[in-house]
């Protein structure tokens, strides 16, 4: 497999730059604080050249770099412009594990050695000098406030609040900017490629679970979308550490993202136009497993060379809450909490099954409630034959226990220009495609 490389512009007083590896373009018009996506490179020796954008390729700095097989790098352009240089940083970690993995890189040229810790006083990194890369440490998932101090002082030079880090993912905190001038100090915390890139063919490497081809970025060239992850048991349909990547069919650059819920069964892809822009979008479906039969589902669109989430099953579940009440005469009322729409299910053809909760006259013996479960199915369907797909969302309605299925809530969702909106809700007794 290829190694991967991305570029970070961390030179605080330098304008936009172009970056090349043996004349291959790694970055074009890259501005301060920004990263490129990871780009696959074969192992070998490369001359990394940095030029100011618009300067016809004249180098302001260049250096040689060895790209080793099965590796992941960030190449940082650092220092003030008069002393600009190139710093390769390895983003490869031996084992991701179950927690957050975090390392720190000090890239502020006028800042002394730093200690980085948490707001509660816990120290994470000690005495980190300029141009130093620490080892990875592990933390549990959570939202953190980091404090950056000059080493062995109480001088807090930077507070970084509300950093939401989730496991099992790999991050790097880059300290960039200036202590005594502008741009000010800042910590950038991108996701490292070890979270989602496969660099080897070993059994412990990520496997491609599903792949599809379509133009997903709108350049009229077919791209490859692939869903990859780790299989603890090769014989099981269960996959963990799932990520979705797009390989640009024109330039072979790869962009990736990690779905928030990234473990489950029978993970799969579907490509189709959901947001009415005549370009395919990416539907990911992952079964939770277990008796509930829940579904984790996302729709991503490619926008400005980024994978942007336009449907999240958790948002759908939060807006699709129902109350289920058994009523007299073998009826069940299903009431939508958000807008109080009420639907009825007739159980009169199942009297024997419910003879223990109704008397001989069909009167309910005592109040009983059921429930509507979270999303259990998501079916792409062009319901109006206009070439764009709607989403058919399925939720199972249960009675007194999970195995007692009363019916299904079937919700048709359509894109309204900014998001998915409900155009129809109905109760059905069976789902042919579910």
Structural domains in the chain, sorted by start: 3-195 (no CATH), 207-310 (2.40.128), 319-428 (no CATH)
Q: What is the pLDDT of residue 297?
A: 97
Q: What is the pLDDT of residues 14-62, one digit of tens each?
A: 999 999 999 889 999 999 999 998 888 888 899 999 999 988 768 999 9
Distance CA 431, CA 429 (A): 7
DSSP assignment letter at 227: E
What is the rounded CA–CA span in Å between residue 148 and residue 160? Answer: 8
Over residues 350-362, mean pLDDT: 94
Residue 195, SS3 per DSSP: helix
pLDDT band at 206 (very low <50, low <70, confident <90, very high): low
Q: Find tokens 């789902």 and name the residue.
A: 431
* Nearest in space to 370 (alpha carbons), one of 338, 345, 341: 345
Instruction: Look at residue 228 in the predicted model and tell me its pLDDT.
Output: 83
pLDDT value, residue 311: 97
- Residue 187 pairs in a beta bridge with 175
> What's residue 167's pLDDT?
80
Residue 3 vs residue 65, higher pLDDT: 65
The pLDDT, as a whole number, for residue 235 is 66
Phi, psi dihedrals of residue 179, rounded to the nearest 5°: -80, -35
Beta strands across the sheet bearing 85-90:
39-41, 3-9, 72-78, 85-90
Give CA separation, 101 vs 104, 106, 119, 194, 213, in Å.
11, 17, 19, 10, 32
pLDDT digits (tens, 9 = 90+) for 215-230: 999 999 988 888 888 8
pLDDT (0 to 100) of residue 1 = 53
CA 359 to CA 366: how far, in whole Å?
A: 10
Q: Is the dihedral of CA 126, 129, 134, 138 positive or negative?
A: positive
Provide mean pLDDT across the span 391-409.
95
pLDDT of residue 204: 31
276 confidence band (pLDDT: 50, 70, 90): very high
Contact criterion met (CB below 8 Å) for 215 and 272: no
Task: Tell me the three state secondary structure of residue 327.
Answer: strand
The band of 199, judged by pLDDT with boundaries at 50, 70 and 90, is low
Q: What is the dihedral of CA 323, 324, 325, 328, to 10 degrees?
A: 130
Query: Do the beta carbons of residue 415 and residue 276 sit within 8 Å?
Result: yes
- Tell me what pLDDT residue 94 has: 57
Q: What is the mean pLDDT of the chain?
A: 90
State the average pLDDT over residues 67-87. 92
Q: What is the largest CA-CA distance in the chain?
A: 92
Q: Is 179 exposed, middle or buried (0-12, 13-18, 19+ CB in 10 A)?
A: middle
What are the tokens at 232? 């603890």
Query: Which tens digit of pLDDT belongs to each residue from 297-346?
Result: 999 999 988 999 999 999 999 999 999 999 999 999 999 998 878 999 99
């Amino acid at each position: 497999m290829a190694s991967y490389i991305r570029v970070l512009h961390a030179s605080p007083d330098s304008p936009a730059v172009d970056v090349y590896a043996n004349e291959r373009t790694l970055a074009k018009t890259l501005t301060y604080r920004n990263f490129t996506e990871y780009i696959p490179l074969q192992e070998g020796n490369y001359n990394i050249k940095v030029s100011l954008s618009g300067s016809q390729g004249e180098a302001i700095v260049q250096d040689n770099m060895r790209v080793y097989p099965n590796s992941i790098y960030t190449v940082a352009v650092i220092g003030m412009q008069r002393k600009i240089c190139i710093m390769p940083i390895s983003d490869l970690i031996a084992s991701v594990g179950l927690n957050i993995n975090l390392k720190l890189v000090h890239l502020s040229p006028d800042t002394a050695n730093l200690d980085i810790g948490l707001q509660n006083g816990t120290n994470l990194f000690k005495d980190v000098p300029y141009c130093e890369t620490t080892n990875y440490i592990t933390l549990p998932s959570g939202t953190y406030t980091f404090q950056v101090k000059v080493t062995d002082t109480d001088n807090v030079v930077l507070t970084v609040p509300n950093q939401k880090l989730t496991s099992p993912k790999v991050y790097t905190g880059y300290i960039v900017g200036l202590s005594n001038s502008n741009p000010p100090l800042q910590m950038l915390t991108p996701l490292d490629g070890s979270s989602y890139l496969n660099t080897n063919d070993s059994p412990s490497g990520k496997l491609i679970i599903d792949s599809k081809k379509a133009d997903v970025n709108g350049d009229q060239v077919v791209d490859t979308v692939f869903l990859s992850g780790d299989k603890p048991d090769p014989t099981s349909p269960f996959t963990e550490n799932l990520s979705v990547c797009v390989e640009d069919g024109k330039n072979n650059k790869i962009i990736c993202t990690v779905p928030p819920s990234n473990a489950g069964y029978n993970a799969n892809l579907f490509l189709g136009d959901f947001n009415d822009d005549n370009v395919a979008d990416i539907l990911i479906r992952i079964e939770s497993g277990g008796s509930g039969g829940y579904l984790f589902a996302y729709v991503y669109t490619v926008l400005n060379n980024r994978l942007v989430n336009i449907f999240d099953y958790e948002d759908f579940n939060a807006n699709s809450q129902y109350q289920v009440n058994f009523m007299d005469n073998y009826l069940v009322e299903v009431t939508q909490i958000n807008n109080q729409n009420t639907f009825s299910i007739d159980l009169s053809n199942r009297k024997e099954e419910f003879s223990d909760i109704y008397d001989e006259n069909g009167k309910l013996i005592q109040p009983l409630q059921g429930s509507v479960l979270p999303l259990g199915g998501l079916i792409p369907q062009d319901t109006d034959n206009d070439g764009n797909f709607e989403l058919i969302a399925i939720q199972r309605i249960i009675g007194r226990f999970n195995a007692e299925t009363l019916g299904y809530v079937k919700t048709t969702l359509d894109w309204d220009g900014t998001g998915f909106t409900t155009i129809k809700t109905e109760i059905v007794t069976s789902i042919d495609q579910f």
